[in-house]
A and B are shown apart, each in its own frame.
Chain A
Amino acid sequence: EPEVTQTPSHQVTQMGQEVILRCVPISNHLYFYWYRQILGQKVEFLVSFYNNEISEKSEIFDDQFSVERPDGSNFTLKIRSTKLEDSAMYFCASRRTDNSNQPQHFGDGTRLSIL
């Protein structure tokens, strides 16, 4: 069964540095998402992306964050000037359509640790 893949599985970065988290969505999917899970807290929506544009973003997704689909397969989340509170598990998800009854398929996540 096709899977969403994320790399790296664990990223350790010094505070203030930039980090790029990478995702390869399922190949025939058109809608892409990033979520975040801070340790001990709920999974939170960050951003949705379709047709090379952000469809919706949460209040968490400020100017520090950006997303890009640089080619036909990758979907990236960039965090500029990382802060300690950016430490979290970041999940990428995708789905084929935007019908509300269609589930999102998640990757295994990238654990981001900011030192």
Chain B
Amino acid sequence: AQSVTQLGSHVSVSEGALVLLRCNYSSSVPPYLFWYVQYPNQGLQLLLKYTTGATLVKGINGFEAEFKKSETSFHLTKPSAHMSDAAEYFCAVMRGGKLIFGQGTELSVKP
């Protein structure tokens, strides 16, 4: 069965610092992986996706993620955090027609 694990329910960084949100997946077939962001009182917005091809995927708002099959990981990074990045981030894998989500990681950005 496919599943997703996000390490760290809460990550806090200083403004300008590197953001690293961890996601590991388990899948018996090549996975389709997604990162979504949820700002306060809003829905889930797609940040980026990995399907096939290039393993380094660029998304919106300066985020990117690298698919590493050997490590079964799809970590999300951003070189320099902004205050506006404070939100909840969800990693998800597509299984059949539905998304299987990780627990989510709340990102706080300190001035």
Where the two chains meet, the residues of A that have a C-beta atom closer than 8 Å to any C-beta of B are 4, 6, 31, 33, 35, 41-45, 48, 55-56, 91, 93, 98, 100-101, 103-109
Is residue B99 contacting chain A, with contact meaning CB distance below 8 A? yes
- The answer to whether B46 and A105 touch across the interface, beta carbons within 8 angstroms, is yes
Residues on A with C-beta less than 8 A from B102 are 42
Shortest C-beta distance, B97 to chain A (Å), equals 5
User: Does B43 lie within 8 Å of A108, measured CB to CB?
Assistant: yes
Q: Are A45 and B99 in contact (CB under 8 A)?
A: yes
In the complex, chain A residues whose CB is within 8 Å of the CB of B36: 106
Chain A nearest CB, measured from B33 CB (Å):
10
CB distance from B1 to the nearest CB of A (A): 13
- B87: A residues at CB distance < 8 A: none
Contacting residues, chain B, for A33 (C-beta < 8 A): 97-98
Query: Please, how many angstroms separate the alpha-carbon atoms of A6 and B94 in the complex?
Result: 23
CB atoms of B43 and A106 under 8 A apart: yes
* A56 and B96 contacting across the interface, CB-CB below 8 Å: yes
The smallest beta-carbon distance between A58 and chain B, in angstroms, is 8
Task: Enumerate B21-57 residues with CB–CB distance to A below 8 Å.
Answer: 32, 34, 36, 41-46, 49, 51-52
**Of B34, B43, B100, which one neighbours A103 at CB under 8 angstroms?**
B34
Q: Is the CB of A48 within 8 A of B98?
A: yes
Residues A103 and B46 in contact, CB atoms below 8 Å apart: yes
15 more CB-based (< 8 A) A-B contacts, given A43-B92, A43-B104, A48-B97? A4-B43, A33-B97, A33-B98, A42-B104, A43-B44, A44-B101, A91-B43, A98-B97, A100-B94, A101-B49, A101-B52, A103-B34, A106-B43, A106-B44, A109-B43
For residue B90, CB closer than 8 A to chain A, the reply is yes
B24 CB, nearest partner CB in chain A, Å: 15
Interface pairs (18), CB distance under 8 Å: A6-B43, A33-B98, A35-B99, A42-B101, A43-B44, A43-B92, A43-B104, A48-B97, A55-B97, A56-B96, A93-B44, A93-B99, A100-B51, A100-B96, A100-B97, A106-B43, A106-B45, A109-B42
